[in-house]
Structure 1
Amino acid sequence: MSAVTLEPTVSTHKAVIRNWGAPIAMAVLALIALLVFGIRNPGTTASFGISNANDAIQLPALNVNTALWGWIFSIILVALAAYALYTTAKKGIISSWVGWGFAFVFVAAFLVWVIGSANTTSVFLTGLIAGSFTLAVPLIFGSLSGVLGERAGIVNIAIEGQLLAGAFAAAVGSSITGSPWVGLICAMAAGLLVGLVLAVFAIKYVVDQIIVGVVLNVLVTGLTSFLFSQVLADNAETFNSPVHFETIRIPVLADIPIFGNILFNQTIVGYLMYVAVIGIWYALFKTKWGLRVRAVGEHPTAADTVGINVNRTRYLNTMYGGAVAGLGGAFFTLVSSGSFSKEMTAGQGFIALAALIFGRWNPIGAFFAALLFGFATNLQFVLSILGTPVPSQFLIMLPYVVTIVAVAGLVGKSRGPAAAGVAYVKG
C-alpha cells in the first residue's frame, strides 16, 4: 500500500480592500448635477469676462449657454462617477486624477449654473481667480507646514495656532519698527516657536500629537485675544498699525492675459509662496535630505538603523513647518488686512490641514487643493453680491462644505506617512 503525501496548498490570492466612500459620493453628486445643472438649468447665457483693460492682449468675454454646458458637464460627471465605481469594483482603488477631474468639472458646472441663475448673468472670471489666489495664500503656507511635519512623522494640528501667532507677531513687529520685513521675520519666529513647543511635547514627552495640537490652538487663540484686548486695543498706533508690503508688478509677464496679473502682480509674500511650494517639493522628492525625512516618516526604526537621527529630524521639520506657517500668518496683517484682530484666521488652519490631505501629502497637490478651497471662499463673496438663488446660509457654509466633500468624498483611498502621529522611542 503506497503512502500518500498531502502537500499544503498556499493560496496566492490577495484580498482587495475596497474603499467605496469616494465613488459613492461621486455618484450622489453626479445625480445631483444631472438634476440641477442638466434638467433644472436656467436656460440663459452666462458671461465670463477675461481681459483687464490694461492687458496687452484683449480677449473677448466667454459666453456660455447654460442649457448646453449644463448637460455636457452633467454627462461628464456621470461618466467619471461610473468609472470610479468600475475601478473600485475591479481594482479596489481609483486614480487621483479622477477625484481632481470630478472636482474641477463640478465646480465649473456649478459656476455656470449659478451665474446663469443670478440677477446679473456675468462675472469677471479673471478677478474671481485672482481673489481665489489671494485667499489661498495662507492656506498654502499652512498646508506646506503640515507636509513638512507629517512627512517626518509629526501630525501638525496646530497650524491654526501657528497662523494666528504669525499674524499677531507680524503686526506687532512691523508696527514697532515701521518695517514689514521685521514683521515677516517676527511672524516666522512666532510660528517656529509654536512648532518647537509642539515638537517638545510630542517627541520628548511623548504626548499624543493630536491633543498637543488642539491645546496649542486654544492656547494661542486665548493668548493673542488677551494681548489684543489688554495691549493692542488701547495702543493701536504703537502696536497694531503694521506697515504693509507693496505690490511688485513684473513688467511684460504681468500683461499676459488671464494669469499674468494674477501670478506676476504680487507682494513679496505671494512670491515667497511660489518659492516655498517649488522649493519644498524639490527638497522632499529630489534631495538626499528629503529621502531621509520621508524615511523617518515611513519607517523610523529602519531610518535609525542606517544612522539617521529620527527625533532630531522630527524636531527640525516641525520647526521648519512652524516658520512656514508663520509666513502664512504674516499675510493676514502685512498684506490683506490693516491690523490684527481677534481670531482673524477664522479656522483656516483646519482648512489648510484638509488641503494637505486632499493633496495627498505632496506640496504641489496641497497647493492646488488650497486653491480650490480659496476659490470656494471667494465664490461665496462674489455670489452674495450678484444675487443668486442659493440661500445666503449655504453661501456662508460653502467653503466648509467644499472642504468636507473634497476630503471625505473625493480624495478616495489615501494613505499618509505610515509613522505619522506615532512617537519614536529608541531601543
Structure 2
Amino acid sequence: TDEYQRVLRAGLALTATAAIVSYAFDIRLARGYVVVALPLATLTGIVLRFVLRKRLHRARRRGAYLRRVIVVGHELAVVALTRQLRRERYHGLDVVGCCLPPRHDGRVALPVYGTFDEVAHAVRAARADTVIVLSCPELDGHILRRLAWRLERDEVDLILASSLIDVAGGRTTIRPVDGLPMLHVEHPNLSGPGRIVKAAMDRLGALALLVMLAPVLAVLAVAVTWGSPGPVLFRQVRVGKDGREFVMYKFRTMYADAPARLAEIRHLNDYDDVLFKMRDDPRVSRVGRWLRRFSLDELPQLVNVLLGQMSLVGPRPPLPEEVAVYPDDVRRRLAVKPGLTGLWQVSGRSDLPFDEAVKLDLRYVENWSFSLDLMILLRTLSAVCRASGAY
C-alpha cells in the first residue's frame, strides 16, 4: 500500500506542477494532457504495479523468489516473527533457521544454528542471504556493527526489526544524534483539518452513491423480499467512534427466524467466542448468500455514512458485546468512525482470524491518510470481485 501511495502522490505532484508551470510561464500545454493524460498515466502505473505485484505474490506462494532468512533473537520473538512471515509469504522472506541466546530451550520449531556469536556460521550453514535481528538487550550497537561488517563480506542483507508495531514508514524518520540513529515517531492523524475534509468527503460520496445506485438498491430490495418473507433491512446496534452506539443497516440475508435458530448451531461457530460466523450457515437464504458473496448487503450502510455515523473507509464496526470484552489497547479502534470497507475487507474478510482483523484495524487507525483511503477503495473493488472470505 505504501508503494501505491508514493506513486499516487508523485502523479498528483507532477500533474499540479505541470498545470502551475504552464500557467505561470504561459506555456501552451494542451488541457487534455494535464487533466487526462497525466492522471491516466498515474492510474495506469498503479494498475500495472498492482498486476505485477500480484504475479510476484502468487510466485512466492509457490516457493519462488524467496530470500532465505536467519532470525536472531529470543525464543518468543523468533516464534512470533516466523509465524507471521510464514502466514504472509508474499513478503518473500523464508525463515530457514535461527540463532538464540545461550541457555535457550530450543523450542522454536526451527533449526538452531547456534548463539548470537555464531550468526556468520549460521548464514554459511543454511545458505542464507538475509539476517533479521530482533530487539535484544544483548545485541548493542558495537556488536551489530561488527555483525554488519562480517555480513558485508558475503553480501548478506542485514535487517533490524524494531519493536514498534503497526507504524507505517510515513510516521517514522531517522534522525542521527552524534552518530547514533534515533527513530522518531510522529503522532497519528486522529483530528484536525484532514479529518474534517474526510468527513465531508464521506457524506458527499455517500450521497452521490445513493443517488447513482438508487435503481440497484430498489432491485436488491425486491430480491430480498422475493427470496424469503420478512423485512427488507436488517438493523443491528453497533459501536462507533468514542464508544457511541448506533443502528447499522444492511439488506437482510437470513430467514426471519434466524435469531431463534442461533442456539441450535452456535457450537458450529467458525470464528471466535464473541462473533458467530459459519461458512455454510443454514439460516442464510439463497438470495442472501449471493448478496453476501459480493458484499451487496452492505450497501444500505451508505445511509449510516450519510448520517455521519460511519465512514466510507475505517475499522470494522464492532458489536456492543464485542467491545465489552476489549482489552485497553484494542479500544483504540474506537478512536475513529467505523467504515463501510477497510483493511480487513481487502485482506480476507471473514477468512481472517479475529486477532488479525483487530491488528489491521489498529494499523489503519495509526497510519490513516487520504492516499491510504483511496488505495483501500481501489482494492475493495478487487476483493469484492474475487468474493474471497465472503460468507
Q: Give the TM-score normalised by the residue count of structure 1.
A: 0.27
Higher share of residues assigned helix: 1
Q: Give the TM-score normalised by the residue count of structure 2.
A: 0.28
User: Which of the pair has the greater relative contact order for Cα pairs under 8 Å at 6+ separation?
Assistant: 1
